[in-house]
Homo-oligomer: A and B are copies of this chain.
Amino acid sequence: MSSEPPPLLALDLTGTFAFGLNGALTAVRAARLDMVGVIVLGMMTALGGGVLRDVLLDSLPPATLRDWRYYTLAAAGGLIAFALSKHLHRLETPITILDAVGLSAFAVIGAGKALDAGLAPAPAILLGVLTAVGGGTLRDTLVRRIPSVLSSGLYAVPALVGAALTVLAVRAGVYGLPAALGAAVTCFLIRMLGLRFRLNAPAPPETSGRREPPHEGT
C-alpha cells in the first residue's frame, strides 16, 4: 500500500484512472485494436510510468502491481473506454482535465520518491518527468506514433516544472502536503494553459515555422 498522504494519493489514483481511460481512448483512435489491445494499452499508459520509476529506484515489485487500487483503476479506465468508445468524444474536456491531474500527481510523487531513494536533485527531476510521461510514451511507441513527449513540448515541460518545484521544496526543508499540492497545481495550470493556447517549446532553428499544432490530450 502507498504511504502518500491521502490528498496526494487521491490525485495519484485519479490520475491512474484518467491515464487508463485516456490511454485506451487514444488507442482506439490511433489503431484498430480489439478489446484486449485497448485494455492492454490503457493499463500500460496508466501503470507504465510508475513501473519504470520503481524499476530504476529498485523498489520492486512495482507499487502499481503491489497496491490493488492502481491496477484495478487502470483496468477499469481501459474497460470503460472500450465500452463507451463511441460516446467518449463528448467527454473530451473532462478527460483532458483528469489527464492533466494525473500528469501533475505522477511528476510530484515520482520526484519525491526519487529523492527518498537517495538520488540527487537533477536525476530526481528526471525521474519525476519519466514517471509522468513514461506510460504515454510506451503507448505511443506500441501504436507507432511519435511520442507526445517528443513532439508536443508542453507535455514534458509542466511535468518538469512540477518535479523541479518538488525537489526545491524538499531541499528548502519546506516539503509537505501544501508544497506538494502547490507543485502539482502549478504543473496542472501550465499544462492547461499550454493546451488552451497551443503553446510549444522552441523548435530547432532550421525547422522554425514548420511545426505542426500540438496534439490535444495525452
Contacts and interface: CB of A to CB of B under 8 A. Distances in A.
Interface in A5-54: 27-28, 31-38, 40-41, 43, 51
A169 interface: no
Counting contact residues on chain A (CB < 8 A from B), the size range is: 35 or more
B65 A33 contact: no
A86 B37 contact: no
A215 interface: no
Given A56-B55, A142-B150, A204 B85 contact: yes
User: Main SS of chain A's interface residues?
Assistant: helix
A66 B123 contact: yes
Report how many copies the assembly holds: 3
A75 to B, nearest CB: 8
Contacts of A60: 55-58
Nearest to A122: B71
Nearest to A114: B61
B71 A123 contact: yes
Given A51-B56, A211-B34, A205 B85 contact: yes
A28 to B, nearest CB: 5
Interface string A111-141: 0001001111011001100000000010001
Interface stretch (A91-99, A100-108, A151-159, A180-188): A151-159
Contacts of A202: 34-35
Contacts of A201: 34-37
A90 interface: no
Interface string A181-218: 00000000000000000001111111100111000000
14 contacts: A31-B151, A32-B207, A32-B212, A34-B152, A34-B153, A35-B153, A36-B150, A36-B153, A37-B150, A40-B150, A65-B123, A66-B119, A68-B122, A85-B206
The 7 closest A-B CB pairs, nearest first, are A37-B150, A58-B60, A65-B123, A34-B201, A34-B153, A85-B204, A36-B201
